Structure 1
């Protein structure tokens, strides 16, 4: 038998005996389709890609032929597939195949239920960490779909954790999951609920612990429970009964640990029961004291339906940024922003830059309307003028255009707000009047006579444009001091040019 070239993730899911059995099924002249039938029948409910099926059989076939055979089996009702199930370390959900007919088992765990001061209940239990992702779905921050709440796994960090697990280092901090309240029942043992539901059975009365000196105070209220969870090794995400909101990297690390070397690895789990919205809030709170990129945290706010008052304004900004960057195809920023959850390769504008721009508009005191859509509309309208007046600089790499640079976008944003304040005063606060925006456009057109945002355009412009580019634009970095200096320069130029135009000497 030739050496099996299997990834670490396969070795973490299939024992050496399973791998040897799979390879033996690949031997012989049987049709590939027949080999796949035996593979899915002999292994314990596998959930695999076409590439993994080829590797398990250790056969030399074209990927297209394997997919064709698997699709035939799916059409015949032997297999089914998912294109939306997210496994550990998969960059994007792959096409996964599994047996169509398989009995759902029950995973019964013992744990402790604890009451909190507000009457809510938390559950604590330990479990082999490899099982968690079979009942708890992991949502990355998927802003395109409007769902999801997990950071992308950092492979090196995950690898470091897995190395520790191989060496027997226990993980001290708990994984946090939220059981979906729509399929969860707090029930006595004789209650009947659908097979797809989680049942939590109380095994004794609540035990109360009183304060040692103040017996009227309860300091702990607990009881033992049994968690009865529907379980399938090859569960699709939509079938899972919980959300994994903290512990993605710890559970992912187990997908790099050989199951023969470490047959089981126990993790502690803290669980609550709630909605997907509560899962998002739990993730945000759990990570509030952990290093998490600002752009991710802000983008997450944009996906929440409800937020505490102190982050409500940030949420409005985050939702407006999402609209500008990935929802509104007519936005001048559409397809140009490295928004979390979107492949940002080649996109010139950094998320936090646009967030700062939108925040400047939001904090301006100008009435753009109440909703995030109104705010996004105003920003889009203002920057559409900018894109139209400097088309040669818009959407280019920040190396080629200072208008795509953080300093340039933020500085011109402050100028736009100043111009809109003027037009608001002139038109009685009514920015729906076309002449208000025409006034902003006229000021920007006058500014173009002094300012060009790229070396290429400035080099073919007038002497003033080239001088201003070299002395005022080119040296500026994305620091508060440089942004303020560039803003001041632009503001002075606009005031001078507008006054000159008003005096009739332009």
Structure 2
């Protein structure tokens, strides 16, 4: 394979103080200079940003490409680094012009590893893989590229490009903490909770804790607690509960060490009081189920709201949870919600109604404990 650069006619389009480049290229050549950076972790650090290839989808695209009159009108999107150059044909073109005609010069070196290539696929992973494998001599495609400052900007663009597509939520949640651009409100709201979740799951920031390795994410395949359940618990608490005291409402940032200390203390007590139920997957334990995680999150808020993390050991949380045992049916038996309303232990589902029902039940038991303690005093 040649080391000669690929030189392509292109149009440079100005968007604010940035540029994008529109051009055509033989899809067979894209992988010579562009890598697919699949999401993974290295030493607790998130690397990459692409979803794993969906082989069945790629095979279907490949069969279509090998048919007569195949057409792929959608452009692939590439993030370049600063080794890629644009050379305008008209050197005197106005800087205020919306578009400029020229050539895009992309270096090619077959000896480079994927993570050293000058471009990354932000969108079009499966199409480009299908073209690469298709039994055709060439297949030109439309492409749009931009020069990214760093990988955080690439990840931000990946989320924005895929915002209207069925992108796995778990992948977005892992990427959010390492993005830098302004995001849609729903994603911006979850950036801090997602950051906290990653620290909890990977034992960073505050050492290992009760959630370490237990939350299921694209890079923690052995986890069994759904990431969305933990995210909802953290998000509810940050905006309306005990963790609110650590959040800056102005910019959405937070005191992450204090948040982690608070969560690890409370959920560490949960793990100690209910050790067997905490080790089981949601199919065998409603404690690690979405309803259990969210409901106990509200219990945490009720018991610890306004109390700094450093003062939690003086609250007697573990004693309260011990008294809560007789009201719980995490792995067997039945839930007694009063008024002749009972459920089998696994009859609780991760629905808003059942989360409210379980939360009310647990909070009544907690208040009963507090009333009993007050009477004894």
TM bucket normalised to smaller: 0.7 to 0.9
User: TM-score, normalised to structure 2's length?
Assistant: 0.87
Q: In 2, are the aligned partners of 1:123 and 1:271 still within 8 Å (CA)?
A: yes
> What residue number does 2:251 align with?
none
CA contact (8 A) 2:336 2:342 kept: no
Q: CA deviation at 1:315?
A: 0.9
User: 1:161-216 CA deviation, whole Å, 9 max, x = no partner?
Assistant: 11111114211111111111xxx2xxxxxxxxxxxx333211125778xxxxxxxx
1:402 has 2:276 as partner: no
Q: Is the 8 A contact 1:137 1:242 kept in 2?
A: yes
Structure 1 residues not aligned, in runs of 5+: 1-43, 45-102, 185-196, 209-217
Offset at 1:308?
4.6
User: How many equivalent pairs are there?
Assistant: 359
What is the root-mean-square deviation in Å for CA atoms of aligned residues? 2.7
Match of 2:296 in 1: 412
2:240 counterpart of 1:240: no
Show the counterpart of 1:154: 54
After the TM superposition, list the runs of 4 or more consecutive aligned residues in structure 1 that deviate by more than 3 angstroms: 205-208, 305-313
SS state at 1:432 partner = helix
In 2, Cα distance between equivalents of 1:445 and 1:382: 13
Work out the CA distance in 1 between the residues paired with 2:261 and 2:63. 50
- Residue 72 of structure 1 aligns with which residue? none
What's the CA shift string for 1:468-504, capped at 9, x where partnerless?
9962742111111111111111111111122122212
Q: For residues 128-163 of structure 1, what are the alpha-carbon distances to aligned partners after superposition, in whole Å with 9 as ceiling and x for unaligned?
A: 112112212222222543222111222111221111
Aligned 1:117-156 pairs, distance under 5 A: 118-143=16-41, 144-156=44-56
- Whether the 8 Å contact between 1:403 and 1:409 is mirrored in structure 2 is yes
Query: Does 1:114 pair with 2:13?
Result: yes
Cα 1:221/1:280, change in 2 over 3 Å = same
Q: Which has the larger radius of gyration?
A: 1
CA distance in 1: counterparts of 2:341 and 2:280, whole angstroms: 16
> Retained in 1: the 8 A contact 2:27–2:132?
no
| CA distance, structure 2, for counterparts of residue 352 and residue 244 of structure 1 | 27
2:277 is paired with a residue whose SS is coil
1:269 is paired with a residue whose SS is: strand
SS at match of 1:290: coil
Whole-angstrom CA distance in 2 between matches of 1:291 and 1:352: 16
What is aligned with 1:296? 171
What is the Cα deviation at residue 452 of structure 1? 3.9
- Distance in 2 separating the partners of 1:414 and 1:254: 51
Deviation of 1:387 after TM superposition, in Å, equals: 0.5
